[in-house]
Amino acid sequence: QGRPVKVTVTGAAGQIGYALLFRIASGHLLGPDVPVRLSLLEIPQAVKAAEGTAMELDDCAFPLLQGIDITDDVNQAFDGTSVGLLVGARPRTKGMERGDLLQANGGIFGPQGKAINDHAADDVRVLVVGNPANTNALIAQSHAPDVPAERFTAMTRLDHNRALSQLAAKLDVPVTAITRMTIWGNHSATQYPDLYNAEVNGKIAAEQVDEPWLRDTFIPTVAKRGAAIIEARGASSAASAANAALNHVHDWFNGTPEGDWTSVALPSDGSYGVPEGLISSFPAISRHGKWEIVQGLPLNAFSRDRINASVRELTEERDAVTQLGLI
Ligand code: NDP
């Protein structure tokens, strides 16, 4: 075995952390031959719970797991890290204003961005899962001026997977029949899952479903799936969110399949009219460890409107954190 790759997970004692850590340690993040060293960051009152999870990780005797560090010190947590999974965030509680939510998360993701800047490995790659994920990623990225901006991403892969699964069920095809799915914009209710560029067995998906289903069932079902899971399960989605995080990082390291792409929220280079620097979801392929935005896709008026609305929301979030002095 070679040198282990250090992977930092924040909010490690949370429910997504619990669904994530065992699969990282068993090779589902980087591949079955890559040894890992886990670094768990928690707030002081949750360190003990993280220690409990670490005891269980030990008890699995995973061949690839070469060590576990647990800390509430952000600098230590990111020291030498190559993969940062930023899961812990301040949830919105009842009566909380959006400004308060952004402020609380600024206090988490700003220092984490700085710690990544100052202490992480040169090849560090970051995935933000904690909500509001796109804007939290923007805050972290803006505190890491020495790290290439493109190394900061936010997760829309769960939305992407939900879109695949809803469409597959509708057309009674396996999910593997579907390619070129895209989630555009913000990981929020304004996200736009695009069936006009997606393909089912090589044919445009939108032409195989009726328009009212696409507009009034498919899009809201994908966008509101998180709430439906809470309603059914009595708790928010965790295993599916963890699975999507693994898919995202796995593809970043190992590449996307030829002829297909996935959905990644990454800093815009101005493609498709999305203002430069906004962390917005795009169709993306991964080559040689880098995400590239798929260029030249046609967007009809309906798609354009939906993307504009989601990008407008991201712009407002960026303006709000700028005004709060968080970026
Ligand atoms: P979860 O593990 O369930 O969720 C963590 C974050 O992921 C939340 O912000 C949640 O957003 C977000 N998320 C993104 N996509 C999804 C999705 N599809 N389904 C569900 N969640 C999603 O939260 P827990 O409360 O169980 O655990 C959080 C842990 O983080 C706690 O142990 C806490 O102590 C820790 N924490 C650590 C920090 C640190 O390391 N510095 C800072 C803050 C918290 P949403 O709120 O919208 O559900």
Whether residue 14 is annotated as binding a ligand: the answer is yes
User: What percent of the chain is predicted at pLDDT more than 90?
Assistant: 96
Q: Which residues of 300-312 are buried (b: 16+ CB within 10 A; e: fewer)?
A: eeebeebbbebbe
Question: Looking at residue 98, what is its pLDDT?
Answer: 82
Catalytic residues: 187
DSSP labels for 98-133?
HHHHHHHHHHHHHHHHHHHHHHS-TT-EEEE-SSSH
Whether residue 98 is annotated as binding a ligand: the answer is yes
Q: Residues, the chain, total? A: 327
- The interface predicted TM-score of the complex, written ipTM, equals 0.92
CA–CA dist 236, 248 (Å, integer): 20
Question: Is 3.20.20.70 the CATH classification of the domain at 157-316?
Answer: no
User: How much is the average pLDDT of 239-263?
Assistant: 98
CA–CA dist 23, 109 (Å, integer): 25
For residue 238, the CA-to-ligand 1 centroid distance in Å is 9
Question: Which residue puts its alpha carbon closest to atom 18 of ligand 1?
Answer: 241
Residue among 191, 201, 186, 202 at smallest CA distance from 224: 191
Query: Backbone phi, then psi, for 54, in 5-degree steps?
Result: -65, -35
Question: Which residue puts its alpha carbon closest to atom 19 of ligand 1?
Answer: 237
Residue limits of CATH 3.90.110.10 in the chain: 157-316
For residue 310, the CA-to-ligand 1 centroid distance in Å is 23
Residue 2 pLDDT exceeds 90:
no
For residue 14, the CA-to-ligand 1 centroid distance in Å is 6
Question: Looking at residue 62, what is its pLDDT?
Answer: 98
> Three-class SS of residue 216?
helix
Residue among 10, 85, 68 at smallest CA distance from 243: 85
* Beta carbon of 214 within 6 Å of any ligand 1 atom: no
* Beta carbon of 91 within 6 Å of any ligand 1 atom: yes
pLDDT digits (tens, 9 = 90+) for 28-47: 999 999 999 999 999 999 99
Torsion 67-73-76-82 (CA) sign:
positive
> Three-class SS of residue 36?
strand
User: How many helices (H) and strands (E) are present in the chain, helices listed first?
Assistant: 11, 14
pLDDT digits (tens, 9 = 90+) for 126-153: 999 999 999 999 999 999 999 999 999 9
Residue limits of CATH 3.40.50.720 in the chain: 5-154
pLDDT digits (tens, 9 = 90+) for 259-287: 999 999 999 999 999 999 999 999 999 99
For residue 80, the CA-to-ligand 1 centroid distance in Å is 24
Name the burial class of residue 49, with classes exposed (0-12), middle (13-18) and buried (19+) by CB atoms within 10 angstroms of its CB.
middle
Whether residue 104 is annotated as binding a ligand: the answer is no
Taking the model in full, what pTM does it have?
A: 0.97
Whether residue 130 is annotated as binding a ligand: the answer is yes
CA–CA dist 240, 16 (Å, integer): 9
Residue among 53, 68, 270, 31 at smallest CA distance from 149: 270
Domain 5-154 fold is Rossmann fold (3.40.50)
* Beta carbon of 15 within 6 Å of any ligand 1 atom: yes
* Beta carbon of 221 within 6 Å of any ligand 1 atom: no
Residue 52 pLDDT exceeds 80:
yes
pLDDT confidence band for 94 (50 / 70 / 90): confident
